[in-house]
Amino acid sequence: MSVVLIVEDELIEQEFLKSVVLDELHPEDVVLVCGSGIQALQLAKQYRPDIILMDLLITEKDGLTVIKEIRKFLPNACIAILSAYSDFSYAQRAISLKVFAYLLKPIKPAVFREVFLEMLKIASNEQLASKENPEEKSTITKDQRPCFIEEAIKYIKENFKEKLTLEMVASKVFVNPKYFSHVFKKEMGIAFTEYIVQLRIQCACRLLETTSYHAYRISSECGFSDPSYFNRVFCAQMKMTPQMHRKSAATFLND
């Protein structure tokens, strides 16, 4: 059984969130709805929800303060923030509180549904781990990669040959760019721009090894707008020029 807590003080938003959540739950699951920070804490202590959907701008106590207090007794609850705030200070605090997703309003139903389904998977795994190891603290939640990062990686891999900016990708997954940048580097161990460059260099290596294209064409095909820049980046990444890589690959194949 899953317990979901929705903390939202706007009635229309409440109904929207509840309708999506109920579509994905089983009859035995429980959905709790409230509109204030105090109520949220009371319900969280009483029902110990697996999933919490938290608005930031709520009465009595703001959402981040409530999450901080909830984390003291529900360290592994899967929490998503739903907010109109795009200020990076809120995103930084959300990261420190191990928030699974930070979604900016207005949220498209399809996007919210996808996030909620990922949260359900995590909650299910968490429950399973708790049953198997009742005396051990589960680490599944912190090991899960936020679903918007997975979606971003998929989008980047499909479009890295085109002009891509951090803002464009963050917009595609409906996340604040500064928050996206911070979480991307934390999860991937590499900055967004470096990740793009690595994909383009890998593509260039494949073309150098399998075609007779000139360097300027390979540069263009892999998403580099300037052949000179491509050469500099390739040398920095591979410790050799594109021509040297091609010769090295040819020698290896002929041996």
CATH of the domain at 99: 3.40.50.2300
Among the candidates 144, 166, 182, a domain finishes at 144
Q: How confident is the model at residue 132 (pLDDT cuts 50, 70, 90)?
A: low
The pLDDT tens digits for 156-165 are 999 999 999 9
In a domain, 180, yes or no: no
- The CATH number for 206's domain is 1.10.10.60
Cα–Cα distance measured from residue 50 to residue 29, given in angstroms and rounded to the nearest whole number: 11
**88 and 208 co-located in one domain:** no
Residues 128 and 70 placed together within one structural domain of the fold? yes
pLDDT of residue 147: 67
pLDDT in tens, 74-93: 999 999 998 887 666 677 77
Provide the pLDDT for residue 138: 42
The model's pLDDT over 139-175, given as tens digits with 9 standing for 90+, comes to 434 445 666 788 899 999 999 999 999 999 988 877 7
Beta bridge partners of 78: 51
Last residue of a domain, one of 80, 109, 144: 144
Expressed in angstroms, the distance from the first to the final Cα of the chain is 61
Residues 210 and 96 both lie in one domain: no
Q: According to the model, what pLDDT value does residue 95 have?
A: 77
Number of domains in the chain: 2
Same domain, 223 and 139: no
The pLDDT > 90 percentage for the chain reads: 55
Q: Is residue 163 part of a domain?
A: no
d(CA 96, CA 65) in angstroms, rounded, equals 12
Percent of the chain with pLDDT over 70: 89
Q: Give the pLDDT score at 74.
A: 93
C-alpha 90/C-alpha 197 separation (Å) is 29
Q: Are residues 128 and 17 in the same domain?
A: yes
Tell me whether residue 244 is in a domain: yes
Place of tokens 């020029």: 241
Give the number of C-alpha atoms closer than 13 A to the C-alpha of residue 97, restricted to the C-beta side: 28
Please tell me the distance from the alpha carbon of residue 117 to that of residue 245, in angstroms, as a whole number: 45
Say what the pLDDT of residue 86 is.
66
In a domain, 76, yes or no: yes
Residues 126 and 29 grouped into a single domain: yes
Q: Domain residues for 233?
A: 193-254
So what's the pLDDT on residue 140?
A: 39
Looking at 144, 160, 182, which one is the last position of a domain?
A: 144
On whether the CB atoms of residues 187 and 95 are closer than 8 A, the answer is no
State mean pLDDT over 219-235: 94
What pLDDT, on the 0 to 100 scale, is given for residue 251? 67
Q: What is the mean pLDDT of residues 38-46?
A: 93
* pLDDT at 87 (0 to 100): 66
Residues 126 and 40 in one domain: yes
> Which amino acid does the sequence have at 203?
C
For residue 128, what pLDDT is reported?
Answer: 81
Amino acid residing at 165: T
Of 199, 152, 191, residue with least CA distance to 174: 152
Residue 156 lies in a domain: no
Whether 50 and 124 map to the same domain: the answer is: yes
* Residue 38 belongs to a domain: yes
Residues 16 and 105 both lie in one domain: yes
Residues 117 and 14 both lie in one domain: yes
**Both 211 and 95 in a single domain?**
no
91, part of any domain: yes
pLDDT of residue 143: 44
Q: Is the residue at 250 inside a domain?
A: yes
Both 138 and 197 in a single domain? no
